[in-house]
Copies of this chain bind each other. A is one copy, B any other.
Amino acid sequence: MITDATQAAGIDVNVPCGGQGRCGRCAVVVEQGNVRRRSTMRLSAADLEAGYALACQTVVESDLEILVPPQEEITRHLTTEKTAAKVSVPFEYDWRVHSTLTKHYLEIEPPNLADNTDDLARLERELAKCCDIRGLYAPLPILRTLAQTLRNAEWHVTVVIDRGGECPRIVDILQGDKTETLYAAAVDIGTTTVTLYLVDLYTGEVVETAADYNGQIKRGEDVISRIVFASKGNGLVELQSLVSNTINKLADRACARRKCKSHDIYKMVIVGNSTMIHLLLGMPPEPIRLTPYITTINHPPLVLATELNLNIHPQAPVDCLPGVASYMGADITAGVLSSGTHHTEKVTLFLDIGTNGEMVLGTNEWLVSCACSAGPAFEGAGVFHGMRATTGAIEEVWINQKTHEPTIRVIGGAKARGLCGSGLISLIAEMFITGVTDKGGNINLSLPTPRVRTGEHGPEYVIAWANETAIGKDIVITKPDVDNLLRAKAAIYAGYVVLAHSVGMTMNDVEQMLIGGSFGQYLNVEKAIEIGLLPDLPWERFHFLGNTAARGAYMALLRKDAREEIAEIAKKMTYLELSADNSFSDQFMAALFLPHTDMMQFPSVAKVLEGKEEEPVVSSQ
């Protein structure tokens, strides 16, 4: 394939679908030589005439000259980095009691002929005396420098110990008293965004937050595309290195702000969905994609930073938290912890919508969960003018009931470039409520406005005219876009219902709904209910918790009992494989409407549609 050649040549060609020939974004122009196009999906006859070929689907049959068009830069404008900076210590914390990672300054008795105890045993003796730490494990790299360090330091050293594993382990030995600082990091590897909290383990505070796009995006926008990419050639190694580079960049950035070094980070706790964890650990994720969807391991062992090419301290333990199944990863178990779902007596529905949609229903006594392959529609993918929530994205839309003219709000106050997830939800809700579409999402072409028309892809609605945009083209939403979004929201809603039914409940039994994931932060509850993405519950039952995954990792980093609690949650949680559930597809079909086939489930929306004055919503229990 041409992609193999460009990779070998070190030329970057983005393959957002992972090289499946589905997205069309790897198109290049063949200027010289012979190729065989296995697929030309997304290429027009004109494209083919102009020499375009999909790099991931085109076999090289001779020496070639190809033109690689400029690759889309992934814009760095992450609101998470700005908004997540304030994370407070979530519980009682005393590093001496709770932290598995500790530093100890020791003044060791130098040896003499009458006491020729070996170096490590001298250090152990002192550590037992001062801090009651016994049964120490010293890895080979530490032993290789121990003699020199002790002697150069004249036997006054600072020992960094981690007690997260089977026995206390030496992470580093520093000359002199270096106990002033003690840093660790909690990391959430999202399919789209990676977030790192730099934590001062003495106070327990998050002292810096850094976030950026997962460097793997250019090799696939969703988990399936990544898995496909990983299964080809050197793909797994490349994806491993891309994500560790992203983490390294974030660590460097956070440490630079804190005026310390990445090397000072002595421990890392990581969460992510199971595919992200497999890719980070370099484990082939292929069986996650194929039925019956099996991970290599749900409870990964502690590994060392150096094994993952992380440039924090090479001997730093890296703790990837446990998940439950291929599509129920550590991001959710950690989210359950930080949301408190497992501690409340209220029937709680915990939802994390990111690139996937995972949800957990439960109380302090039981937990059931499922995952919906919603796809990345709410992250702007699979929608013609979809984009991520960065500058230029339309994040909210209002449509005039009479004129059907839209009013839009754009991130950064700039000219519009496209629509992000919250903008899409708001747009579809408004289109539905104002009659631009019917229940089935069909655009009403008979409305007396030029905004509705038939375009290249069928019926469409124009949100912004070319001259109002930054892209010089009309920004539209098409029937295929609406269908995509309907499928995504239907999958999620069907998930709620199947989950509730599995424990003999209905959605009305849900006493609180906790929403995690950065996407939740921008979700307008009213609009989300109007399209049937959220259940029609009283608004006060919804709580938006932000990045519950990162917060759970942070809690596990601070206290060993919290770490153990996540393992308990993972063990206790029942996972419902929806593809093995008979009722899921019925529920999915029923939810493929705005807001739902069964309007009884959406009384508040029914009222709005009836044109009634909206009354305060009352619990339907």
Interface residues of A (CB under 8 A from B): 111-114, 116-121, 137-140, 143-144, 146-148, 151, 166-167, 281-284, 286-287, 291-298, 300-301, 303, 307, 325-326, 575, 577, 579-580
* Chain B contacts for A143, CB-based, 8 A: 281, 283, 296-297, 300-301
Contact B114 A580 (CB under 8 A): yes
CB distance from A260 to the nearest CB of B (A): 28
* Chain B contacts for A577, CB-based, 8 A: 113, 116
Cα A231 to Cα B300 with chains together (Å): 40
* Chain B contacts for A137, CB-based, 8 A: 301
User: Which 6 residue pairs across A and B have the least CB separation, nearest first?
Assistant: A113-B580, A118-B295, A120-B297, A113-B292, A118-B298, A111-B294
Contact A113 B579 (CB under 8 A): yes
CB distance from A113 to the nearest CB of B (A): 4
Cα A292 to Cα B301 with chains together (Å): 41
Across the interface, A295 reaches (CB within 8 A) one of B114, B119, B284, namely B119
CB distance from A175 to the nearest CB of B (A): 16
CB distance from A601 to the nearest CB of B (A): 28
Across the interface, A140 reaches (CB within 8 A) one of B112, B166, B286, B303, namely B303
Contact B294 A118 (CB under 8 A): yes
* Chain B contacts for A326, CB-based, 8 A: 116
Cα A72 to Cα B511 with chains together (Å): 87
**Closest B residue by C-beta to A236:** B144
Contact B119 A297 (CB under 8 A): yes
A119 and B151 contact, Cβ closer than 8 Å, known pairs A113-B577, A301-B139, A580-B114:
no
Contact A138 B282 (CB under 8 A): no
Contact B118 A291 (CB under 8 A): no
* Chain B contacts for A291, CB-based, 8 A: 113
Contact A292 B148 (CB under 8 A): no
Across the interface, A283 reaches (CB within 8 A) one of B147, B166, B286, namely B147
* Chain B contacts for A148, CB-based, 8 A: 284
Across the interface, A298 reaches (CB within 8 A) one of B121, B144, B147, B296, namely B121
Contact B116 A281 (CB under 8 A): no
Cα A137 to Cα B165 with chains together (Å): 11
* Chain B contacts for A325, CB-based, 8 A: 116, 118
A119 and B575 contact, Cβ closer than 8 Å, known pairs A140-B303, A143-B283:
no
**Closest B residue by C-beta to A291:** B113
A283 and B113 contact, Cβ closer than 8 Å, known pairs A118-B298, A166-B167, A298-B121:
no
- Which of A143, A166, A292, A294 counts the most B-chain CB atoms under 10 A from its CB? A294
* Chain B contacts for A144, CB-based, 8 A: 281-284
Cα A287 to Cα B307 with chains together (Å): 31
Contact B118 A292 (CB under 8 A): no
Pairs A–B under 8 Å by Cβ, sample size 20: A113-B293, A116-B292, A116-B325, A116-B575, A118-B294, A119-B295, A120-B296, A137-B301, A140-B301, A140-B307, A143-B281, A143-B300, A144-B281, A144-B283, A146-B296, A147-B283, A147-B284, A147-B294, A148-B284, A166-B167
Cα A130 to Cα B431 with chains together (Å): 62
CB distance from A417 to the nearest CB of B (A): 41
Cα A138 to Cα B295 with chains together (Å): 14
* Chain B contacts for A301, CB-based, 8 A: 137-140, 143
CB distance from A571 to the nearest CB of B (A): 11
CB distance from A578 to the nearest CB of B (A): 10
* Chain B contacts for A113, CB-based, 8 A: 291-293, 577, 579-580
* Chain B contacts for A286, CB-based, 8 A: 147
**Closest B residue by C-beta to A307:** B140
CB distance from A147 to the nearest CB of B (A): 5
* Chain B contacts for A118, CB-based, 8 A: 294-298, 325
Cα A111 to Cα B298 with chains together (Å): 14
Across the interface, A116 reaches (CB within 8 A) one of B138, B147, B166, B294, namely B294
**Closest B residue by C-beta to A327:** B116
Contact A119 B296 (CB under 8 A): yes
Cα A283 to Cα B119 with chains together (Å): 12
Cα A284 to Cα B166 with chains together (Å): 28
**Closest B residue by C-beta to A304:** B140
* Chain B contacts for A294, CB-based, 8 A: 111, 116-119, 147
CB distance from A289 to the nearest CB of B (A): 12
What 9 additional pairs, Cβ within 8 angstroms, besides A143-B296, A147-B294? A113-B293, A116-B577, A118-B294, A119-B295, A119-B297, A143-B281, A143-B300, A143-B301, A146-B297
**Closest B residue by C-beta to A240:** B144
* Chain B contacts for A116, CB-based, 8 A: 292-294, 325-326, 575, 577
